[in-house]
Amino acid sequence: MIVTGAAQGIGQATAEAFAEAGARVFAVDIKGEAVKRAVAGLARPSLHHARRYDLRDIAGLGGLVEEASESLGNLWALAHVAGTLKRQPLDEVGEEEWDLQLDVDLKAGFFLCRAFGQALVAGGRGGRIVNFSSPGFIRGTRLGAHAYVAAKGGVVSMSRDFARWYGPHGITVNTLLPGPIDTPMQHTDNTEEVVAAGVAACPLGRLGQPEEVASVVVFLASDHASYISGAAISVTGGALMY
């Protein structure tokens, strides 16, 4: 299993959940030392691999997938959790912030998923791709993440397109929409009042935990989800209903 953004938050919880389920994990993050520590904390750490990588290096993504295949043996699932977020007023969004978020949150995902899908097709065994979007792609942003939700809307459309393209090869492609989850990103550029407002808007009345999202990723990667593809799944405690 390849897990991006594996150094912290949902990515780290996903790597842990896969390891607990008996899978071998190729953990990727731009934070090299942090991802090494995350892998050292996994069940049976010697079976897993930590890799520092900047996903904006589009040209190297095919090589990254090949390296993961050589490290793990057979590839089965990609959990593309990595993303970047800059909260700022709409009128202050500049080209630099726009490009960074579109490059990391959408462009890199397209080329990574394509490289992974090509590897799965060549392997002939089918497989799973799980991408990450945001409830904001449906309702817009209330917290100033304007470029972020634009990119995340693209992730859903991209995933549905890949689901059609790769479906004949036994490959499912789905997208998760995490709600208010207690991760570092949730608290980035957020006041306590803003976080509290997100909790108040959630019918369950609390922040979700990274492990609660990771368990859905593991489900989608399993045989239990063999007939789910092209779905955008809300993991929001009811904050998003559609």
95-146 residue pLDDT tens: 999 999 999 999 999 999 999 999 999 999 999 999 999 998 998 887 788 9
pLDDT at residue 216 is higher than 80: yes
pLDDT at position 188, please?
67
pLDDT at position 240, please?
86
pLDDT at residue 199 is higher than 90: no
* pLDDT band, residue 22 (cuts 50/70/90): very high
Q: Percent of the chain, pLDDT > 70? A: 98
Average of pLDDT values for 12-36? 98
pLDDT at position 133, please?
97
Closest CA to 176 of 234, 223, 114, 104: 234
Adjacent-strand bridge partners of 130:
79, 174
| Catalytic residue, candidates 148, 166, 227, 242 | 148
| H or E segment to which residue 33 belongs | helix 32-40
pLDDT digits (tens, 9 = 90+) for 183-198: 877 766 667 777 787 8
Give the domain 2-235 fold: Rossmann fold (3.40.50)
Per-chain mean pLDDT for the chain: 94
Sequence spans of domains, the chain: 2-235
Q: Is 148 a catalytic residue?
A: yes
CB atoms within 10 A of CB 242: 8
